[in-house]
Amino acid sequence: MGRKRAVLVGINYPGTEGELKGCLNDVTRMRLCLVDRFGFDEADIRVLADADPSTPPPTGANIRLELEQLVAGARPGDSLFFHYSGHGLQLPAETGLDDDTGYDECIVPSDVNLIKDQDFTELVQKVPDGCLFTMVSDSCHSGGLIDKTKEQIGSSTKQSKKAQQHRPPSSAPGKLCATLVDAVRAALEYIGIRLPRRATATATSRSLPLPTFIRMLREQTGKDDVAVGSIRTTLFHHFGDDATPKIKKFVQAMAGGMLRHGAAATGTGLIPNGVNAKPEGDEEGDQADALGPAMKQELLQSVDEVFARAVGVPRRPRNGVLISGCQTDETSADLTTAQGASYGALSNTIQAVLAKEKRRKVTNRELVLRARELLSKQGYVQQPGLYCSNEHADVPFIC
């Protein structure tokens, strides 16, 4: 039997505008589950949590390093597991090209150094045959985070920006229901009928609205001029070598003249500060230094590679399984009960399904279908998804 190894990430963003409550608890419960139910050795479980100072901080660079090490040491027969609880983000296109109309689905590390769906695709493509990488992402917009993986359960597709803009908010039915209940209660109390009031739970979304993310990025970088259209270059300038590979590809495309059209032209804020379109004299050396992290990347074959949708992926990642908290256009809930316990809706449901089955193995498909059913009964509108090849849809969850 192969080795079982895991990376667990929980980010509560304490003290920020995007603070959550349940992510550390999700990771703590999953860690116990891996040891008690699935037989993981505690030494083979790496935890990164911003609310636990005994663990490494869950920055973008640290998360990617842990995942690279997880995959680099993999052998046939191994079981690899990655759990993420935290914010998700849909990052709009910034190339200015007419064909680039999609979004990048991202997770948001503690330092807001985004990790994108294509980054996960490239990671899973390194997993050797005979080894399986399972990822649970209890975050918003998590459907399709391993880009180009076949969707087994769900309806997430890379929709156009226009289609997503015209879709009603996924939380609307819940809000309408709550409004009607309050109205009925008020009407009954007006005529002297008082209904018992139960202590209620509070739920927030694990979605990070783009304006909120921009404010957090401004705070992280100290740059007040960050806006839609300059997010990727701001991330590149601030994080340099630690920026995600797709961010570096984006800047490489700009430096190579691929994006100097429309909104990507010099002077719009997309060309990195200090990098001129036509450097002269000493400026050429300065530009080379500024672009160094981007130019170390493998050279782009097509501008499609930096689009906010993966066009140039050479093959589907075969050895990965993604269980998402919701669909691409949905949000995932972060819940705090009346008793003060906090957790993610998907994470809590996974634990409930596994606990009910005791030691019986539960397949990936069965887990997602039962999670959907349970969440629906509890009044949640989010719909978990399953993304993997046909051969892995009905294998046991994790191992």
Q: Tell me the CATH number of domain 4-164+315-393, given options 3.40.50.720, 3.30.310.50, 1.10.760.10, 3.40.50.12660.
A: 3.40.50.12660
Evaluate if residue 112 carries a pLDDT over 90.
yes
Q: Where are the beta strands (DSSP E) in the chain?
A: 4-10, 45-49, 79-85, 88-92, 103-107, 115-116, 132-138, 151-153, 202-205, 320-324, 333-336, 342-344, 385-387
| pLDDT score for 309 | 56
- Burial of residue 44, with CB atoms counted within 10 A of its CB: 0-12 exposed, 13-18 middle, 19 or more buried: middle
DSSP bridge partners of 83? 8, 136
**Residue 87 C-beta-side C-alpha neighbours within 13 Å:** 30
| pLDDT score for 178 | 44
| pLDDT score for 303 | 53
Dump pLDDT digits (tens) for 325-350. Answer: 999 999 999 999 888 899 999 999 99
With tokens 């985004």, the residue in question is 114
| pLDDT score for 316 | 77
Strand 132-138 versus strand 385-387 pairing type: unpaired
DSSP bridge partners of 138? 85
| pLDDT score for 144 | 85
List the catalytic residue out of 83, 87, 237, 392: 87
What is the residue type of 152? Q
Q: Is 106 a catalytic residue?
A: no
List the catalytic residue out of 23, 140, 388, 399: 140
Distance CA 70, CA 81 (A): 9
Dump pLDDT digits (tens) for 41-82. Answer: 999 999 999 999 999 999 999 999 999 999 998 999 999 999
Q: Is 140 a catalytic residue?
A: yes
Dump pLDDT digits (tens) for 124-179. Answer: 999 999 999 999 999 999 998 998 899 999 986 444 444 444 444 444 444 434 44
Confidence band (pLDDT; 50, 70, 90) for 192? Answer: low
**Residue 4 C-beta-side C-alpha neighbours within 13 Å:** 13
With tokens 């050429």, the residue in question is 284
Domain boundaries along the sequence of the chain:
4-164+315-393, 172-200, 210-306
DSSP bridge partners of 7? 46, 82
Dump pLDDT digits (tens) for 218-276. Answer: 999 999 999 998 999 999 999 999 999 888 888 887 776 666 533 443 333 444 444 44
Dump pLDDT digits (tens) for 374-393. Answer: 999 999 999 999 999 999 99
Tokens of 297: 């990347």
Confidence band (pLDDT; 50, 70, 90) for 97? Answer: low
Mean pLDDT of the chain: 82
Classify the phi-psi angles of 314: left when phi > 0, otherwise alpha if psi is within -120 to 50, otherwise beta: alpha
| pLDDT score for 263 | 41
Dump pLDDT digits (tens) for 196-205. Answer: 544 557 888 8
